[in-house]
């Protein structure tokens, strides 16, 4: 079985990525009702704290994707969410997505979190390609993608009814940089 969660938190001088905790549910629910998160993501605005808590517990028991809390390394304060999904992890391709609470935006947390999770998945899961799909009007996210080393790589279908065609960015490791991972 593929281990989709780091055994220890991932950290650099700016952020720490750690597993979500049951006690984090209230932060998650409060943060996602922010108009900017609702504008750019598919997070449900009607998510309840109980439903968030149940989702966190299910994920901790049997993760099918990577979902980590973005925290401030200095204070431990919750800043946002970063997740990575794949229809087939053995393909070596996954999609990353993230959001930050309004209080933490503009401080480089998103690009730092992207670099951490991407480096970990390239090293640990043997991925060779990570995609980031976003609304073309989301200029802060496009800047974040570039700051984390992603490059424009085409388009993707809209995810919201009536929404625009999305832009896709990719971060690719050359074959000689990928260390094959044995999957149990």
Q: According to the model, what pLDDT value does residue 27 have?
A: 97
Read off the CATH number of the domain in which 135 is found: 3.40.630.30
* Tokens describing residue 111: 């690009």
Write out the DSSP string of 69-125.
Answer: EEEETTT--EEEEEEEE-S-GGGTEEEEEEEE-GGGTTSSHHHHHHHHHHHHHHHHH
Paired tokens of 18: 């750690």
Of 123, 28, 124, the C-alpha closest to 67 is 28
In a domain, 6, yes or no: no
Q: Is residue 31 part of a domain?
A: yes
Q: Which of 84, 152, 87, 168 is nearest to 122 (CA)?
A: 84
Q: Is 28 helix (H, G, I), strand (E, B) or coil?
A: helix
Is residue 184 domain-resident? no
User: Per-residue pLDDT for the chain (184 aa), expressed as one digit of tens each?
Assistant: 468 889 899 999 899 999 999 999 999 999 999 999 999 998 999 999 999 999 999 998 888 899 999 999 999 999 999 999 999 999 999 999 999 999 999 999 999 999 999 999 999 998 999 999 999 999 999 999 999 999 999 999 888 777 889 999 999 986 544 444 443 3
Q: For residue 78, what are the β-bridge partners?
A: 71
Closest to 172 measured CA to CA, from 134, 115, 127, 121? 127
Please indicate, yes or no, if residue 30 is contained in any of the structural domains.
Answer: yes
Instruction: Domain of residue 166: give its range.
Output: 13-177
Paired strand residues for 24: none
Number of domains in the chain: 1
pTM: 0.89
């Amino acid at each position: 079985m593929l281990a989709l969660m780091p055994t220890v938190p991932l950290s650099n001088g700016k952020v720490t990525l750690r597993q979500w905790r049951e006690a984090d549910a209230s932060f998650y629910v409060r943060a996602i009702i922010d108009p900017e998160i609702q504008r750019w993501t598919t997070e449900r605005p009607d998510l309840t704290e109980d439903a968030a808590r149940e989702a966190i517990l299910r994920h901790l028991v049997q993760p099918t994707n990577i979902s980590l809390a973005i925290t401030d390394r200095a204070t431990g304060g919750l800043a946002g969410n970063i997740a990575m999904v794949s229809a087939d992890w053995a393909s070596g391709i996954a999609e990353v997505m993230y959001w930050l609470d309004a209080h933490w935006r503009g401080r480089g947390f998103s690009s730092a979190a992207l670099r951490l999770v991407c480096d970990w998945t390239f090293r640990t899961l043997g991925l060779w390609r990570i995609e980031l799909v976003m609304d073309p009007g989301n200029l802060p996210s496009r800047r974040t993608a570039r700051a984390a080393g992603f490059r424009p790589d085409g388009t993707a279908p809209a995810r919201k009814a009536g929404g625009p065609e999305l832009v896709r960015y990719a971060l690719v490791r050359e074959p000689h940089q990928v260390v094959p991972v044995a999957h149990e």
